[in-house]
Chain A
Amino acid sequence: MRSILNCTAVELSEKIKAGEYTAVEAMEAVFERIGEKEQEYHCYITLDRESALNRAKEVQRKIEAKELTGPLAGVPVAVKDNLCTKGVLTSCASKILENFVPAYSATAVEHLEKAGAVMVGKANMDEFAMGSTTETSYYGVTRNPVNPAHVPGGSSGGSAAAVALQECFMALGSDTGGSIRQPASYCGVVGLKPTYGMVSRYGLVSYASSLDQIGPITKNVTDAAYLLEAIASYDKKDSTSMPDADRDFTGALVEDVTGMRIGIPRDYFGAGLEKEVETAVLAAAEVLKDAGAVVEEFDLGMAEYAIPAYYTIATAEASSNLERFDGIKYGYRTKGCVGLHNMYKKTRSEGFGEEVKRRIMLGSFVLSSGYYDAYYLKALRTKALIRKAFDEAFSKFDLILGPVAPSTAPKLGESLADPLKMYLGDIYTISVNLAGLPGISVPCGKDGNGLPIGLQLIGDCFAEKKLIRAAYTFEKQTVAKRL
């Protein structure tokens, strides 16, 4: 059973199709592992062994009947709990959705099912994806797979930790300001945030609609490319999904970066960046340079404005997106309360956690009459300028290289004590969301305590292939060096 867990997603599917393992054995192995680890690390909000095994049996039958032949057929996958799954609790790690069972599945989840991937369970996260540590979950914290005294990052902390702990073979996360890349970095796995519009958001419970994007969290770059290829699509149900984008990602799994121009923004290596992270990231740049890339430093600009712009836009959208959670139609409703507006207030006060309430208040404030121009409109203009800065950079470079986060995973409890500091930790990831760009986090080393460090590569819109090519090359080179 041990060796099966060491497979990557693509390797596992190959072995299942070759008859070496069955999808049911894979799922059993995952649940055996969950039995050992879950109590301590708590990657999942919802697990149902029996139905997971039933789904695995059905998939196995289809594989044997050659109805399922795809590269991810039979692979157990974790799904972040803000993705709607028909008939399965979708809580967004919030009390307010403690009993919400969707009548439909997110488009990305449907694609996974069609590909023959088998859902293990619903992964833990920060409540409504608001947080960077997975500590704001109403259902309890997830712990870092390398050191349980540390956070796994967030908001897709459950997904990243589950992949790292082998409690699944791959996972879906969502990234609004770094929520895929940062936990991937903290947990030592690969996380890819696609270009805005690459993956349908239909069925993803919105945090900040203009920034949210679903993406893969996997053991390696190859799996990330395959998983992204499975879920990416134009979807008529999502007005913001892109009709004609190149969605052949696996074709970019090529070990060659010869002549690729990679820019290192000096802005990303200033105060606040931990030395060990800086060293590891710059060493990664050297690896790519040695492999034939042209690496050069430059000034990106606008970096210091990204955080205020992000927290204005994201919270404004969130304040409106979360209005539907009111105790009327679904979810938690307070008891013994007279009057409609009292019911709204009490339900929402009791149903939302502190961080969510903080962001709703902030967002409501920046949209209020009299403040709209000064905050929200200004933030939108800043967003446009950030995009322009990236456009300029991509006129010179194929990719931008930098850290994912200023530090490795902090200890549990450290971040929530100082929310502002937590927000500042998003500095390298959020401008990517503001500009709608794709970004990938690839492991590039460890700090003195053995905590993983992530390398971030950022591409131009719809340039995932360059991103995957460079990340794949880097991964191959480092694995080769370690050998």
Chain B
Amino acid sequence: MSKHYETVIGLEVHVELATKTKIFCGCSTAFGGAPNSHTCPVCTGMPGSLPVLNKQVLEYAIAVGLATNCEITRDAGFDRKNYFYPDNPQNYQISQLYLPICRNGRVEIETENGKKFVGIHEIHMEEDAGKLIHDEWEDCSLVDFNRSGVPLIEIVSEPDMRSAEEVIAYLETLRMLIQYLGASDCKLQEGSMRADVNLSVREAGTEKFGTRTEMKNLNSFRAIMHAIENETERQIDLLEEGKEVVQETRRWDDNKGYSYAMRSKEDARDYRYFPDPDLMPVHVTDAMLNGIRARQPEFRTEKIERYKREYDIPEYDIGIITETKHMADLFEETTALCGQPKKVSNWLMGETLRLLKEKNEDPEDIRFSPRHLAALISLVDSRAITGPVAKDVFEKMFEEDIDPEAYVEEQGLKTVNDEGTLRAAVEKVLAENPQSVADYKGGKQKAIGFLVGQTMKAMQGKADPGLVNRMLKELLG
């Protein structure tokens, strides 16, 4: 490669909002449910039905706009995007083109190369489509409108990103902000956050943008990274060969590791956008805006600063704990109950992260309650259970959010303090391990560790290790 190229990337991010009901009707947004069980005349496009805006959608969109430093459009509106497809019951999607709710924002991202701002061109509200199911067996297609009318926001960035790392940093920043707002759980795999990547390359130092392509079907950060690298390479190769990049929409196949063209600009449809006459203009009042502003949560940067002041835990821990609001809330609520930030942090940083990784889950999936974690910490503190038992109990708690006190009681996991029982166990261990006894007596201090371990094992971890140690030393003279 003779020339040096620069990659220019802009993102269109769709986020499914966490409202209980759909954007234009009262149907549930709950995932699952029998096909078409969460539907009504409105979200199935029945003749005569009319949309009514769910105010919570507007509030979430504004909250995200404020969190991304956008200007809020005080008189916004909804427009119809007209196109025929069976997953779209009206054959138009209600979206925003002319007066989107948020414009001109920016978010700060951080990569190894430092900090920079990524501009937000606009954020608009729209409705999701239904789902088509192609039944090859019966040779027919079926449609499930449960998804139809689920609220989405689309966050359109400026073409400000220059690498896959910046794209990931941008997405992680957005995800964190939106999760902190409670506006969405932002899960790429489950589709509650979807990103389309607009990418072009140009010779380094030139002003003019190259011809861009739009990449769809990116279902994980890994897929996004991979697709960006692949598409950058593809475009550079074309230019190097003296060919032109065609403006088109491409679909990423993550299994095969390449993309293919879906439709070119020439096939671009004329959506005949126009203001939806069934919906009134959206007027954002001062009271509404101030109310949303007042309810904005403490975001991560502020939270990190406060944790540094309030809690004596390592900065590294603070960084991890504040990555998700769920984890941060768990930390704060548990600490408030037990007053031991260090111990709470240890449980989160140690066992919790280990189990999340093992089970391939996200911090938002954590099920155990602050009350139960606090109870577990207090069980250990009062020496009611031993460290090893605590880990087992925690694992159970992690899975099912059991009450540790009740569980310890039921399962008989309390530390055994009864000298008679312990002495019997120790004596048995000594009798079974004459070699270790001899080693110890011969001056090998380490051998006692093995004997403690054997005793603990015999006691299923329920013995007080200090007491076992003392008793062993006593018996070994």
Contact = CB atoms under 8 A, between A and B. Distances in A.
B277 A208 contact: yes
B461 interface: no
A103 B41 CA distance: 8
Contacts of B45: 324, 329
Contacts of B49: 202-203
Contacts of A367: 82, 272-274
Nearest to A377: B274
Interface string A320-336: 10011110111000000
A82 B48 CA distance: 8
Given A324-B90, A369-B272, A239 B84 contact: no
Contacts of A240: 50, 277-278, 280
Interface in B266-289: 270, 272-274, 277-280
A420 interface: no
The SS class assigned to the A binding surface is loop
Interface in B77-107: 80, 82, 84, 86, 89-92
A240 B281 CA distance: 10
B258 to A, nearest CB: 28
Contacts of B270: 368-369
B50 A239 contact: yes
A52 interface: no
Contacts, number: 99
Nearest to A372: B274
Nearest to A92: B47
Given A323-B90, A324-B91, A329-B89, A209 B47 contact: no
A237 interface: yes
Contacts of A323: 82, 84, 90-92
B44, B50, B89, most chain A CB atoms within 10 A = B50
Contact of B47 (A238, A320, A324): A324
A147 interface: no
Contact of B80 (A104, A320, A344): A320
A201 B86 contact: no
A164 interface: no
A325, A329, A330, A341, most chain B CB atoms within 10 A = A329
Contacts of B279: 239
A78 interface: no
Interface in B171-190: none
B127 to A, nearest CB: 14
A455 interface: no
A90 B47 contact: yes
B272 A364 contact: yes
Given A320-B92, A367-B272, A237 B277 contact: no
A102 B82 contact: no
B53 A104 contact: no
Given A326-B84, A369-B270, A84 B92 contact: no
A189 interface: no
B336 interface: no
Given A320-B82, A323-B92, A364-B272, A203 B277 contact: no
B41 A104 contact: yes
A100 interface: yes
B272 A239 contact: no
Nearest to B78: A239
Given A320-B82, A369-B270, A236 B48 contact: no
A90, A100, A209, most chain B CB atoms within 10 A = A209
A193 B71 CA distance: 41
Interface residues of A, number: 45
B341 interface: no
B52 interface: yes
Interface in B140-165: 143
Interface in A221-262: 236-240
Contacts of B278: 206, 209, 239-240
Nearest to A348: B84
Given A324-B89, A326-B91, A328-B86, A84 B274 contact: no
B356 interface: no
Interface string B24-68: 000000000000000001001111111111000000000000000
Contact of B86 (A92, A205, A325, A340): A340
A206 B48 CA distance: 6
A108 B270 CA distance: 36
A372 B271 CA distance: 11
A340 B279 CA distance: 30
B46, B47, B270, most chain A CB atoms within 10 A = B47
Contacts of B47: 84, 90, 92, 97, 100, 102, 205-206, 324-325, 330
B277 A210 contact: yes
Interface in A366-398: 367-369, 372, 376
A376 B91 contact: no
Contacts of B280: 239-240
A83 to B, nearest CB: 8
A329 to B, nearest CB: 6
A84 B48 contact: yes
A208 B277 CA distance: 8
B89, B273, B278, most chain A CB atoms within 10 A = B278
Interface in B224-271: 270
Interface string B276-311: 011110000000000000000000000000000000
B27 to A, nearest CB: 13
B322 to A, nearest CB: 41
B135 to A, nearest CB: 15
A112 interface: no
Nearest to A210: B277
A316 interface: yes
Given A104-B41, A319-B272, A330-B47, 13 more contacts: A90-B47, A102-B46, A106-B48, A237-B50, A237-B52, A239-B278, A319-B82, A320-B80, A323-B90, A323-B91, A324-B90, A324-B91, A372-B273
Interface of B: 41, 44-53, 80, 82, 84, 86, 89-92, 143, 270, 272-274, 277-280
5 contacts: A320-B272, A326-B84, A326-B86, A340-B86, A369-B272
Nearest 4 CB-CB pairings of A with B: A323-B91, A209-B277, A210-B277, A367-B272
